[in-house]
Amino acid sequence: MDDVVKKADVEQPQTPSLVTDELDFTCEYSDNLPAILKELNISLAFTSYQAGRLMLIRSDGKKLDVNFKSFPRPMGLTASEDGITLGIFTQIINFQREDGLLEQIKQPLVKIEDDITAPRIKAKEQQQEQQPQGVSTPDKDSVELTPEQGEQMKQQRQKAQAYQEKLNAALDERVDACFITRSAHYSGMINIHDIDWGDEGLWAVNSSFSCLCTLDADSSFVPRWKPHFISELVPEDRCHLNGMTLKDGKPAYVTTFSKFDNAGMWRKGKSFDGTLMDVETNEILVDGLAMPHSPRWYNEQVYFCNSGYGLICSYHPETKQTETLFEVPGFTRGMDFYGPIMFAGLSKVRAADVTKPAPLSEKYDETFSGIWLFNLDEKGEQAEIGNIKFTGNVDQIYDIAVIPNSSFPELIEPSHPRMRNHFCHPKMQPLTS
């Protein structure tokens, strides 16, 4: 592993809101990462529910760029060359790859009053349309401002104007892929965790109802499987079912924090009894795990995180043997692969409303948040080939996804003003008799 450390460029959010939490998104990374991502022509997406962001790690070959988008409680994430799917507080959102928009997003966005695709609006309506979220304009005839309030209002308006100009600005010339919001499903707060596309559509871990589910336009969700020790489908997060991986297009393995069948009891257990389970047989393969997460089927075995100990492990179905592969100074959660490289997420140990805290809190004086890279063809310390450490306020990472065939992608979220006139459609379809 290269010991040289660099700091990444951090892109400001492109969402139409002035509500900024003043969070620090800075990070450091090993010197070899920009070249690795650029040479493989990949980028990384990850979610941080604590920071309320979906973040993209992009490379131009010389340095990393971190771009982030605001979402309420972003969690499960999956990506392919064609699209990105994201689970948030009450929704699942699909972003379609539309590289035909690349030329358009690299041009300034026309103002709404000059946009022929926008409805004609009166001056007052136009003002309301352009008023950034979080900024109020008092009625001057009914409100008398103090000098301090007047100066504050002036600064607020200047900030709003600058923010609007930033939203309308051309996007980075280095962008080589565009993912734009295409659809959303409203599931309600099912405490969505891992998600992935299979033969029957999108599968999701529904932690609130302790089940795996698919989606249907007429329902919040369609329950499809639950652990044998869960007696009924109720929104009580009984065992904290959280992780899932598919094999051959079907759910194959899951992780749970416990075997409890009572509301929220997994928080109150006095010992660790997390599980890795086989979905098809509905049997427990490994138990006694500490807060396990992120099972992933790859290389004919199951990789998973024994998170409370900061371990990355594997389970071999043929031999039924569990092996500890890597030990790191962080709460392991989130995992994806590209060739022989594993990308694993680390989070800082945090105070939580559980009876027994993660053993990591006693093992390390300091834990880290970031993404660690391992070469699966190597063993021991030689396997670690690089890392990204967040040095600011990003303390928790939930999921990681590799975006293939793009080293510098851009994502247009639902609330971005570019959604107004960035169109994608097939050729004219003839009428059928």
- Determine, yes or no, domain membership for 232: yes
Q: How far apart are CA 193 and CA 200, in angstroms?
A: 18
Q: How far apart are CA 71 and CA 50, in angstroms?
A: 11
**Residues 44 and 159 grouped into a single domain:** no
**How much is the pTM?**
0.88
**Residues 305 and 277 grouped into a single domain:** yes
Three-point CA angle 291, 247, 372, nearest 5°: 50
- Determine, yes or no, domain membership for 431: no
Supply the range of the domain harboring residue 153: 112-168
Whether 177 contacts 207, CB under 8 Å: no
Whether 328 contacts 312, CB under 8 Å: yes
H helix or E strand, kind and range, residue 102 = helix 102-105
Which of 3-12, 68-77, 79-88, 261-270 shows the lowest mean pLDDT across its residues?
Answer: 3-12
pLDDT tens column, 122-181: 545 555 555 555 555 555 455 677 888 777 887 778 777 777 778 889 999 999 999 999
**Residues 37 and 145 grouped into a single domain:** no
pLDDT tens column, 280-332: 999 999 999 999 999 999 999 999 999 999 999 999 999 999 999 999 999 99
Q: What is the mean pLDDT of residues 404-424?
A: 95
Whether 196 contacts 202, CB under 8 Å: yes
**Residues 320 and 221 grouped into a single domain:** yes
**Number of independent structural domains in the chain:** 2
**Residues 245 and 347 grouped into a single domain:** yes
Q: Which residue has the tokens 């997406």?
A: 45
**Residues 267 and 245 grouped into a single domain:** yes
Pick the last residue of a domain from 123, 153, 168: 168
Q: What is the mean pLDDT of residues 255-278?
A: 91
**Residues 65 and 117 grouped into a single domain:** no
* CATH (domain of 396): 2.120.10.80
The predicted structure's pLDDT at residue 372: 97
Q: What is the mean pLDDT of residues 255-277?
A: 91
**Residues 92 and 147 grouped into a single domain:** no
- Determine, yes or no, domain membership for 427: no
Q: How far apart are CA 57 and CA 178, in angstroms?
A: 14
Own/partner pairs, 245-248, CB within 8 angstroms, 24+ separation: 245/194, 245/196, 245/295, 245/296, 245/297, 245/302, 246/196, 246/198, 246/203, 246/297, 247/297
